[in-house]
Amino acid sequence: MAEIKESFFSAEGIDKRLNGKKFWKVMMTEYWIPKDINFLWAMGVVLATTFAILIISGIFLLMYYKPDTALAFDSVNYTIMQDVAYGWLFRHMHGVAASVVFLIIYIHMFTGIYYGSYKKGREMIWLSGMLLFVTFSAEGFSGYMLPWGQMSYWAAAVITNLFAGGSLEAYGLVEWIRGGFAVGDATLTRFFMLHVFLLPLVIIKLIVVHFYTLRIPHVNNQNSEDIDYDAEAEKYLAGNKKEAKVIPFWPVFLSKDFAVLGLFLIFYFYLVFFNYNFAMDPVNFDPANAMVTPAHIYPEWYFLWSYETLRGPFFDMFGMKAGDIGLMIFGLAQGIFLVFPFLDRDPDVLPAHKRPKFFIWFWILIIDLLVLSVYGKLPPTGANAWVGFYATAVFLLLWATLPFITKSDAKARGAL
């Protein structure tokens, strides 16, 4: 260690001891971002901000929320909503942000898929991002239980029942997860712990990992050009800012990010103040009742597509029970995006519009997910059940064909 001579009680001395200037350089002023990007590259900062909003609003809710089946409903709907000054605001901010964060996650995810930002050195970014998606899903589910309304209770009952594994009948596992024969007080308190402590801790760690895996390979760009960052950074630092293909994260890239963030926050607070109802299901304003299932139950919009794959196959096939097939497809739907980099057999990193077949594949996937989401909300009867069935079949078919489609694109380009 080089001994530091500057006094501890001086700005210079503190900086020397903390390496602040060096850290700032690595993370900010000399963290290079390509110029050839668009507003979709701002979603990372938008997500970080939304997560911060969730934590801050959550802290205020946590001070009045009571994790007890006898008290939870009133502590949310009476104490927080009516007694606590601005309690309603913190609740609506929390609920709307929890919903909107998934919208941004999906945009972020499909930007990555469209521009091929998950391969050739960026696999770890994709994997850590998908782990974040899974953890956010668990965070959303556990938080949804806390107000202890009818939707809270029945979502908890249905989702914990998935762990019985259909015909495997692993009811011991279900009772272990619930801490009782049915969803009850023990279930509420343990999911409260997960929601306010363990899962946020895991999310924070995963965000650090996600950024770490991104820092060295750098973000992709609109034309997936392989940029020599050292050479381009040298140009920029030499004053040749016009020719350099890169800009520093701070202050140049973030100023653009903040513009997008500003628009996002206007949209977000518009929802919080004028249109929060979409995140506050009316059924959940009935207290939880273990003896009555609501007439029609459905998850929040961001889980609808995978929920529809669960109930898509509604009749027995291939000697298997309908419920088991649905459960298997549901399990597959949760994990399949994780292995995206390994199903894409195209050796080149290119945006989808330069990969003709993959381009079509991409938009069919988006449409299929939208169809699944819409029909996931509708009652599963009559023609609805068949739309769900075929949309689920298309979903499976898309993944089965992905390796061949990407390979065929590469062959047509002469890359294989």
Partner 1 sequence: MSQTNRRDFLGMSFAAVAAVGGAASLVGMKQAWDPLPSVLAAGFTTIDLSNIDLLPGIPKTFTWRGKPIFILELSQAMLDDATKAGLPKDYHLTIGDKSYTVVVGLCTHLGCIPAWKKDMWKCACHGGEFNSSGKQTFGPPPKPFVVPPFKVEGTVLTLGEDGPESKAMIAARA
Nearest Cα neighbor of 381 from 270, 296, 283, 265 is 296
Q: 3-state DSSP call for residue 215?
A: helix
Q: Which of residues 169-208 bind partner 1 (CB under 8 A)?
A: 175-182, 184, 186, 190
Nearer to partner 1, 277 or 289 (CB): 289
Q: What whole-number distance in Å separates Cα of residue 86 and Cα of residue 413? A: 59
**Among 72, 157, 196, 333, interactor with partner 1 by CB under 8 A:** 157
Stretch 305-324: interaction string toward partner 1, x if CB under 8 A: -----xx-xx------xxxx
- Residue 191, exposed/middle/buried by CB under 10 A (0-12, 13-18, 19+)? buried
Q: Is 386 in the site for partner 1 (CB under 8 A)?
A: no
**Among 18, 63, 290, 400, interactor with partner 1 by CB under 8 A:** 290
Q: How far does the chain reach from its first CA to its final CA, in angstroms? A: 52
Q: Please provide residue 102's backbone torsions phi and psi, each rounded to the nearest 5 degrees.
A: -75, -35
How far, CA to CA in Å, does 230 sit from each of 115, 178, 237, 349, 416? 23, 54, 10, 20, 30
How many CB atoms sit inside 10 A of residue 135's CB?
18
Smallest gap from residue 328 Cβ to partner 1 (A): 12
Nearer to partner 1, 90 or 303 (CB): 303
Smallest gap from residue 270 Cβ to partner 1 (A): 33
How far, CA to CA in Å, does 94 sit from each of 158, 191, 266, 294, 331? 24, 17, 16, 25, 28
Q: Is 22 in the site for partner 1 (CB under 8 A)?
A: no
The region of 215-223, 241-249, 284-292, 406-414 touching partner 1 under the rule CB under 8 A is: 284-292
Smallest gap from residue 205 Cβ to partner 1 (A): 20
Which residues, other chains included, contact 50 with Cβ-Cβ below 8 Å and sequence gap of 6+?
97, 100, 101, 104, 268
Q: Is 161 in the site for partner 1 (CB under 8 A)?
A: yes
**Among 274, 295, 318, 383, interactor with partner 1 by CB under 8 A:** 295
Nearer to partner 1, 240 or 293 (CB): 293
**Among 81, 134, 297, 396, interactor with partner 1 by CB under 8 A:** 297
Smallest gap from residue 177 Cβ to partner 1 (A): 7
The region of 115-123, 151-159, 278-286, 363-371 touching partner 1 under the rule CB under 8 A is: 151-159
Q: How many helices (H) and strands (E) does the chain have?
A: 17, 2
Rg (CA), the chain: 24
How many CB atoms sit inside 10 A of residue 81's CB?
15
Q: Is 326 in the site for partner 1 (CB under 8 A)?
A: yes
Q: Is 154 in the site for partner 1 (CB under 8 A)?
A: yes
* Residue 346, both tokens: 């195209």
Q: How big is the CA angle at 362 (ends 370 and 402), to the nearest 5 degrees?
A: 115
Q: Is 399 in the site for partner 1 (CB under 8 A)?
A: no
How many CB atoms sit inside 10 A of residue 391's CB?
23
**Among 331, 351, 356, 380, interactor with partner 1 by CB under 8 A:** 380
Nearer to partner 1, 384 or 401 (CB): 384
Nearer to partner 1, 314 or 359 (CB): 314
Binding site for partner 1 (CB under 8 A): 154, 157-158, 160-162, 166-167, 175-182, 184, 186, 190, 290-297, 310-311, 313-314, 321-324, 326, 379-381, 385
